[in-house]
Structure 1
């Protein structure tokens, strides 16, 4: 929860992997039937909960359950494209503009490894080699710490440049395909 935000705020934060609420609350808000036409039904359900004056809190529960969002890279790309497309159209106040996020991703996570490779290949000189190596090492440490926090193997952090490329691809794909979302074999027209 974000302190200072009205409990009826439309920009609900939700994670649809697992939502737990008393049955009477679920029935009082109309259950999933109340959001069946929404592409991001988990966020829509959180918004309905808040509109009905009920409390919705997101919590970490890593010690209590495990979930899998997607079973393949294709599923991950489709799912996150849907999230970014619809989220961008809803214009949530806590989400930075598309261009800012894309540029930051390129500068922070993708450019340093490319500069390091370039420096190792003999282009750019010793200064580029040192700075790009330092930035890559720092990025690796940040990703390793995050993976450790999530309970995953820290050595996966060595692949962060590839993950960053996938994120930028998803963001660009979402921007290009704005207006229509394909999800689980169905096509949805999305508008503001």
Structure 2
């Protein structure tokens, strides 16, 4: 097949999938029925820069009863002191201390498991400490779960991007979810292989969470949102990704080095596998990078129009900064570099790690 035509076909795949997924992405609103209690559960390790704003936003929730639990996971900064101060002002907030990390567990997953054990809610809303919930989010997620009979609901918060390093990494999340996942994580698809979630914000119906074994069933993972959602679907439960941009904001990383380390940590449980990554390289490089080498072929021009059009549409939907769109080819190049780095690290036996912990047991995941 003609190279330029091949590039155009590779660009058309995410453009078509992206248009469908954007059109059908569920929006959530409303309040759940009486008797619903949402437990907002926050694992925290060295989060003094984030935890107060996160808690004040969570405690401002309306439309449903909430409790807020923080699991201090061996913080070496003022995180627990800040939580104690706020807990003295609001009885709905509790501070817990994580026990020593057992062998075979990753830190966040262990903290989430212990939080779930201590929670009293009918629904468990796991969020990261860098997430800022909107006031109606807890109610809207619980209402959507009840209305659609969903065991798990997740969404990608609006990503706050302030540096070029973040712009070269963070937008990949929504591009891959919307442009390359058939069904976009909606409940109309039930296959575990098509499951999706964002670990920054995941709401679970409690009985279903306990039925699948909760976080204990995925104790060795570093990609908790995706792995937990697959576990729910394997157990016969319905899960769904919804429009998360109106529900919360999150600044994942501050700068390129932190973003590179964070995405590399999770890559082995996503794209960076010996069989999968060559395929992903063809799909991503062929659609988003190769057309540049084929200019001025008409098909290459059309391919670039499709890829930039998709990126612009996703940027508008996700409420990300417009100035990140011209960087799109570099963003795709960095995404592939991260994935190949993670695969090479695994191949030579270098374990992933995060916040002062190494996880040797995950290298063969």
TM score, norm. by length of structure 1: 0.69
Task: Report if aligned partners of 1:144, 1:156 keep a CA contact under 8 Å in 2.
Answer: no
Partner of 1:67: 250
Q: Relative contact order (C-alpha < 8 Å, sep 6+): which is higher?
A: 2
Moved more, 146-155 or 130-139: 130-139
Task: Report if aligned partners of 2:268, 2:342 keep a CA contact under 8 Å in 1.
Answer: yes
Partner of 2:196: 13
Distance 2:214 2:299 in 1: 53
Task: Report if aligned partners of 1:14, 1:43 keep a CA contact under 8 Å in 2.
Answer: yes
Pair 1:142 & 2:142 matched: no
Task: Report if aligned partners of 2:288, 2:329 keep a CA contact under 8 Å in 1.
Answer: yes
Structure 1 residue 35, shift from structure 2 partner: 3.1
Unaligned runs of 5+ in 1: 117-127
Distance 2:314 2:193 in 1: 29
2:277 to 98, 106, 112: 98
Pair 1:182 & 2:352 matched: yes
2:265 to 72, 82, 89: 82
Q: 1:176 to 1:112 in 2, by over 3 A?
A: same
Distance 1:76 1:20 in 2: 25
Structure 1 residue 77, shift from structure 2 partner: 2.2
Moved more, 140-149 or 28-37: 28-37
Pair 1:154 & 2:322 matched: yes
Partner of 2:221: 38
Task: Report if aligned partners of 1:12, 1:46 keep a CA contact under 8 Å in 2.
Answer: yes
Q: 1:28 to 1:148 in 2, by over 3 A?
A: same
Distance 1:42 1:152 in 2: 21
What's the CA shift string for 1:25-82, capped at 9, x where partnerless?
4455554344333222223322443455443222222212122333332232233333
Distance 2:290 2:271 in 1: 25
1:171 to 325, 336, 339: 339
More strand by proportion, 1 or 2? 2
Unaligned runs of 5+ in 2: 1-185
What's the CA shift string for 1:134-180, capped at 9, x where partnerless?
65444333322221121123342111121111012112212212354
Distance 2:271 2:290 in 1: 25
Distance 2:299 2:333 in 1: 21
Aligned residues: 175
